Structure 1
Amino acid sequence: MHDPRHTSERPGRRSGPPDLPEDVRDLVAVDLSAAQVQDWSIAGDSFSWTLLAGDADRGHELASLTYVGAVVLHTNRRDLDRAVAAAAEVDRSEVVRSDDGGFEHRVTLVPDYPIVVRFWSVEVRRMPAPDHLRRVR
């Protein structure tokens, strides 16, 4: 049975229930498959990270995601620094509604490293990026 709280990311189009706020629909629209972690920061109640998405055929883009009212679960600063140093790639990504009315962005980095960001709103900034930013793992 389909969970109505669940939204999956699909390349090239907005997905998920139409009742999602526009900012969350923007997040769901980003194809993070095999995106590499470039950097991250925590300031106050926000968590930000930048991921290099895309490939040589489609082109690359930097997706800067800033979650407001954020709590990051299943990770710590040292592990996030390691993810940047290792050019860790996204294996899975999904956005679900949380029981408190907010959202969770559930990301699994290769090989099997889960990160959950609970948030109330998100700012998504996307910009084209040169291919040379993709690091060989």
Structure 2
Amino acid sequence: MTGRDLPDDIRDLLALDLLAAQVQDWSIASDSFTWTLLAGDSERGHELATLTYVGAVVLHTNRRHLDRAVEVAAEVVGSEVVAAEGGGFEHRVTLGPAHAFVIRFWSVDVRRMPAPDHLRRTR
């Protein structure tokens, strides 16, 4: 999904390089889903990206899977944002090795901040 006609928040989400980003934390509150990912590498530098999806429904996963993703610092191996049928968007995510789920949402708040290299966990 590309294009200048996309809302700013979707362009912000698409600008993130989430491949190999590690899951740090997640939460669900009311109609929002938030998770924090450690993106980047030692060459480019790391950043913490906190993504809050508003009007969110998380499909094909559960709390146990998300807790486990934090525990093992699961890495993003696939990330795609598409327009959802009936309006809104879907963020289709695959965590390694092969746990795929979908976040269906209306808008997203993307917050980024530099992070020290030592936050990256090795397996």
- Give the shorter-chain TM-score range: over 0.9
1:134 to 114, 120, 123: 120
What TM-score do you get using the length of structure 1 for normalisation? Answer: 0.89
Letter in 2 for 1:33: L
Helix, strand or coil: the match of 1:34?
A: coil
Shift of 1:19: 1.2
Segments of 5+ residues of structure 2 without an aligned counterpart are: none
Q: Structure 1 vs Structure 2: percent identity of aligned residues?
A: 75
Helix, strand or coil: the match of 1:92?
A: strand
Segments of 5+ residues of structure 1 without an aligned counterpart are: 1-6, 8-15
Return the alpha-carbon distance in structure 2 between the equivalents of residues 93 and 20 of structure 1: 17
Letter in 2 for 1:92: G
CA RMSD of aligned residues (A): 0.5
What TM-score do you get using the length of structure 2 for normalisation? Answer: 0.99
Q: Residue in 1 aligned with 2:85? A: 99
Return the alpha-carbon distance in structure 2 between the equivalents of residues 101 and 69 of structure 1: 11
Letter in 1 for 2:73: A
Q: Residue in 1 aligned with 2:64? A: 78
Letter in 1 for 2:75: E
Q: Residue in 2 aligned with 1:30? A: 16
Deviations for 1:51-102, whole angstroms, at most 9, x for unmatched residues?
A: 0000000000000000000000010001100000010000010100001110
2:46 to 60, 68, 87: 60
Total equivalences in the alignment: 123
